[in-house]
Amino acid sequence: MNVSIITPTYNSSKYITKTIDSVIIQTYTDWELIIIDDCSTDNSIEVIKSANENDSRIKLIKLSKNVGVAEARNIGIKEAKGQFIAFLDSDDLWYPDKLEKQIGFMKENNIDFCYTGYEKVDEEGKSFQTMKVPLKISYKELLKTCYIGCLTVIYDTKNLGKIYMPTNTKREDYATWLSILKQTQYAYAVPETLAKYRVYSNQSSSKKINMAQENWNLYHNIENLNIFKTLYYFSHYAVNGLIRTKLPLLSEIIERNKDFK
């Protein structure tokens, strides 16, 4: 298999069929979908097994104890056979030509680390915001704002090796992208919207505060930035996050005047 898709799941029976279907209908067919079930208590296992019976490229790893999303992804990465590693959570979706366009773009331009634009959808799948992305991004630029959606990422293990996610932060995906950008100068974007990220209406303000705390921890304790650099990048994170989520019209104006697509 050329592409290994890593999908952790926990009680995702409501959405995982659509997620799996969005992989099955890919125009690029040389893939394996590794689903790591983190001790679901619903009927997710039955849904996944049914999909596997119809398509042997779908593989299930059933964990005996709950380990969390970062370690679940790492278990999938360890088992991956593909040259390229991609990520897709169990409630998100891909456009049918996502892999074809992204893998083609990476091979044509000799790119090790790639991402795309994506749209946010609600629990019913209705789109409400398009997240545009810069055409390329460096380590220092990514520190200011995590423009890279996990569901859009593909990296090349041939040149980078297998990159595992840290388990000491809830910003494990962000920390991983920063880690990769210490090995390669830039991440590059396919300048198209090729994925759908599901957002839930019950996200509380306390969760947002916790996420802000996780970002502070990421800067100061994981990236080992001094207090002044931590304050600098955290302020960018806070302001940019507010603009992107609460002031989308202003965000669109800013993006038009930058190298965004």
Which pLDDT value is given to residue 261?
61
Mean pLDDT to the nearest integer, 10-24: 97
Confidence band of 201 (pLDDT split at 50, 70, 90): confident
CATH 3.90.550.10, domain 1-91, yes or no: yes
Which pLDDT value is given to residue 28?
98
**Roughly what angle, to the nearest 10 degrees, separates helices 172-180 and 69-79?**
50
Confidence band of 209 (pLDDT split at 50, 70, 90): confident
| Residue 133: both structure tokens together | 């992305």
Determine what percent of the chain is predicted with pLDDT higher than 70.
Answer: 90
Which pLDDT value is given to residue 250?
46
Q: Cα 228–70–214 angle (5° rounding)?
A: 25
CATH 3.90.550.10 residue ranges for the chain: 1-91
pLDDT of residue 249 exceeding 60, the answer is: no
Of 12-26, 64-78, 124-138, 197-211, the range with the lowest mean pLDDT is 197-211
**Roughly what angle, to the nearest 10 degrees, separates helices 248-256 and 227-246?**
110
Are the C-beta atoms of 195 and 132 separated by less than 8 Å? no
Average confidence score pLDDT of the chain: 92
Mean pLDDT to the nearest integer, 133-162: 96
Alpha-carbon distance values, 1 to 85, 111, 171, 186, 230 (Å): 11, 19, 29, 26, 41
Alpha-carbon distance values, 124 to 108, 127, 129, 218 (Å): 36, 9, 14, 32
| Rounded Cα gap, residues 141 and 152, in angstroms | 18
Alpha-carbon distance values, 121 to 124, 145, 153, 157 (Å): 8, 21, 18, 31
Which pLDDT value is given to residue 251?
47
Burial class from Cβ neighbours inside 10 Å (0-12, 13-18, 19+) for residue 240 reads middle
| Rounded Cα gap, residues 29 and 118, in angstroms | 21
- The closest alpha carbon to 34, from 70, 78, 94, belongs to 78
158-198 per-position pLDDT tens digit: 999 999 999 999 999 999 999 999 999 999 999 999 999 99
The predicted model scores a pTM of 0.91
Confidence band of 204 (pLDDT split at 50, 70, 90): low
Q: Token match 């595992």: residue?
A: 164
56-95 per-position pLDDT tens digit: 999 999 999 999 999 999 999 999 999 999 999 999 999 9
Which pLDDT value is given to residue 253?
43
pLDDT of residue 206 exceeding 70, the answer is: no
Alpha-carbon distance values, 241 to 38, 108, 144 (Å): 30, 33, 10
- The closest alpha carbon to 137, from 159, 168, 116, 158, belongs to 116
Residue 136 falls in which region: left (phi positive, over 0), alpha (psi -120 to 50) or beta = beta
